[in-house]
Amino acid sequence: MRSITRRKFLATSAAGAAVATAAGFMGNVRFARADDEIVIASLFDQSGGLDVYGTPMTMCATLAVEEINAAGGLLGKKLRLISYDPQSNMELYAQYAQEAALKEKVAVVQGAITSASREVIRPILGENKTMLWYSVIYEGGVCDMNNVVSGATPLQMGDPVVEYGMKNYGKKVYYIGADYNAPQIIGDWGKKYVTENGGEWLAKNLFPLDVTEFGPEISKIQAAKPDFLYTCLVGGAHISFYRQWAAAGMLKKIPMVSFTFGVGNEHKSLKPEECDGIVSAQPYFQELETDANKAFVQRFQDRFGGPDKAPYLNSVGSGSYIGTWFWAEAVKKAGTIEREAVLKALATGMSWDGPSGKLTVDPASMHCIQDVHLAKVEGGSWKVFQTIPQMRPDDVKDRCDLTKNPETAEQFTPQI
């Protein structure tokens, strides 16, 4: 057996430590930042299960940054976007958020798709005083000065669509959704609305995200005989519900409204016979007929390969375009990228007009008051038929008032 000399021990460990430190350091050394540029980061999954959302979001952020630069930059400086791909992995979300805040020292992070991932990075970015902008539809309740939310909340989107259902189809409502926090809360809000307006809430059934077999549930729904079905299904596996529902002949028998249909481009994956007639209320549809939106869609499709290759834009994908541009406008208003000043500018109740309509910041919650549109699926596309202007994000108004308590930094669960 070879024995150890003190010399050998010290030498080997010093060598080992040096290598390890060097590797760590090298990993952390990046090119120095040019003085005339502003750096922002995007944190959306472009691989793993969530890339159907993350890829268009990253593309929209990229487009926004390019447009801003083409118009002369931000405060005279070039805007540069670092796109991280957390690969649908929470650990990487945390790591990239830390990297963006501590190493790259970005001015803002356009980030996170699911609430789970947002809740990972929100405290990290808050601690490190880097602004977070969340632009995805979610269950509501975030109350954090550092986290501006342009995504719509259940109160903004859920009530209009349930109201439509009750007015047009009847009072008995059956709800199914994905089994996690957002659809739970959306269901609870739905129940509140229905019972307060004289309706009957028959059931709230939730399914894990990877369930593909809905046969038993479809039979249960038929047994319950609702006037309409309210769905909040999410993700690729859940598309099979719509397919099985139509195959069982139910699409024509029981009407359906949905909180989330379309957000995963379901209407593009399904044939028209499988989904025509479904109604949803969302802040954005690619088919919105406004000039601003038509121009935006045109620019997006030109940039990313034409109408056949560019991804379809829904309210999730377009969110990062809105988020990036709105933030840029706030920077212009504040005259600096410094976080406190930008937040203050936004908190004056600043408004911005974008492809989805007008958004106005609500200083008490740092969410956006925004237009919501009702649309019905026809021939595989959305047909928008009504716009409800400036819905307020009052989900947790009873507990969240950042004008009075600006130090709050948590996500409340609405008490319904």
CA distance 51 to 45: 5
Smallest distance from other proteins to CB 167, Å: 26
Smallest distance from other proteins to CB 299, Å: 15
Token reading at 386: 């009504």
Residue in 38, 40, 52, 162 binding other proteins, rule: CB under 8 A = 52
Residue in 75, 248, 341, 388 binding other proteins, rule: CB under 8 A = 248
CA distance 396 to 185: 12
Size of the site for other proteins (CB under 8 A): 100
Q: Does 132 bind other proteins (CB under 8 A)?
A: no
Binding pattern for the stretch 263-302 against other proteins, x by CB under 8 A and - elsewhere: --x--xxxx-xx----------------------------
Q: Regarding beta strands 409-411 and 142-144, do their DSSP bridges make them parallel or antiparallel, or are they unpaired?
A: antiparallel
4, 121, 343, 371 from 147: Cα distances, Å: 56, 10, 9, 21
Taking the CB of residue 32, how many other CB atoms lie within 10 A of it? 6
Smallest distance from other proteins to CB 211, Å: 5
63-90: buried (b, 16+ CB within 10 Å) or exposed (e) per residue? Answer: bbbebbbeeeebeebebbbbbbbbbbee
Piece of the chain touching other proteins by CB under 8 A; list 95-103, 191-199, 368-376, 389-397: 95-103
Smallest distance from other proteins to CB 235, Å: 9
Residue 154's closest CA among 142, 172, 145? 142
Smallest distance from other proteins to CB 324, Å: 13
Kindly tell me which of 123 and 406 has the beta carbon lying closer to other proteins. Answer: 123
Q: Does 227 bind other proteins (CB under 8 A)?
A: no
Piece of the chain touching other proteins by CB under 8 A; list 69-77, 112-120, 193-201, 387-395: 112-120
**For the residues of 60-128, what is the DSSP string, one character each?**
HHHHHHHHHHHTT-BTTBEEEEEEE--TT-HHHHHHHHHIIIIIS--SEEEE-SSHHHHHHHHHHHHHT
Non-local (6+) Cβ contacts of 237 within 8 A are 209, 210, 211, 212
Non-local (6+) Cβ contacts of 92 within 8 A are 84, 86
Q: Does 34 bind other proteins (CB under 8 A)?
A: no
Q: Regarding beta strands 200-207 and 172-178, do their DSSP bridges make them parallel or antiparallel, or are they unpaired?
A: parallel
Residue 154's closest CA among 283, 313, 66? 283
Residue in 92, 330, 331, 337 binding other proteins, rule: CB under 8 A = 92
Residue in 73, 170, 236, 406 binding other proteins, rule: CB under 8 A = 236
Residue in 40, 74, 79, 99 binding other proteins, rule: CB under 8 A = 99
Q: Does 381 bind other proteins (CB under 8 A)?
A: no
Binding pattern for the stretch 53-82 against other proteins, x by CB under 8 A and - elsewhere: --x--xx-xx-------------------x
Residue in 79, 109, 115, 356 binding other proteins, rule: CB under 8 A = 115
Kindly tell me which of 310 and 388 has the beta carbon lying closer to other proteins. Answer: 310
Q: Does 130 bind other proteins (CB under 8 A)?
A: no
- DSSP, collapsed to helix, strand or coil, labels residue 237 as coil
Binding pattern for the stretch 196-225 against other proteins, x by CB under 8 A and - elsewhere: ---------xxxxxxxxx-xxx-xx-xx--
CA atoms within 13 A on the CB side of 105: 7
CA distance 3 to 117: 50
Residue in 37, 91, 302, 353 binding other proteins, rule: CB under 8 A = 91
Smallest distance from other proteins to CB 277, Å: 16
Smallest distance from other proteins to CB 218, Å: 8
CA distance 56 to 83: 12
Q: Does 98 bind other proteins (CB under 8 A)?
A: yes
Smallest distance from other proteins to CB 160, Å: 24
Residues 13-32 that bind other proteins (CB under 8 A): 13-14, 16-17, 20-21, 24-25, 27-28
Smallest distance from other proteins to CB 333, Å: 28
Residues 316-375 that bind other proteins (CB under 8 A): none
Residue 128's closest CA among 153, 108, 158? 108
Residue 158's closest CA among 178, 182, 134, 136? 182
Residue 384, judged by CB atoms within 10 A of its CB (0-12, 13-18, 19+), counts as: middle
Contact present, 124 and 109 (Cβ < 8 Å)? no
Q: What is the 3-state secondary structure (H, E, C) of 128-145?
A: CCCEEEECCCCCCCEEEC
Smallest distance from other proteins to CB 93, Å: 9
Q: Does 240 bind other proteins (CB under 8 A)?
A: yes
Kindly tell me which of 38 and 61 has the beta carbon lying closer to other proteins. Answer: 61
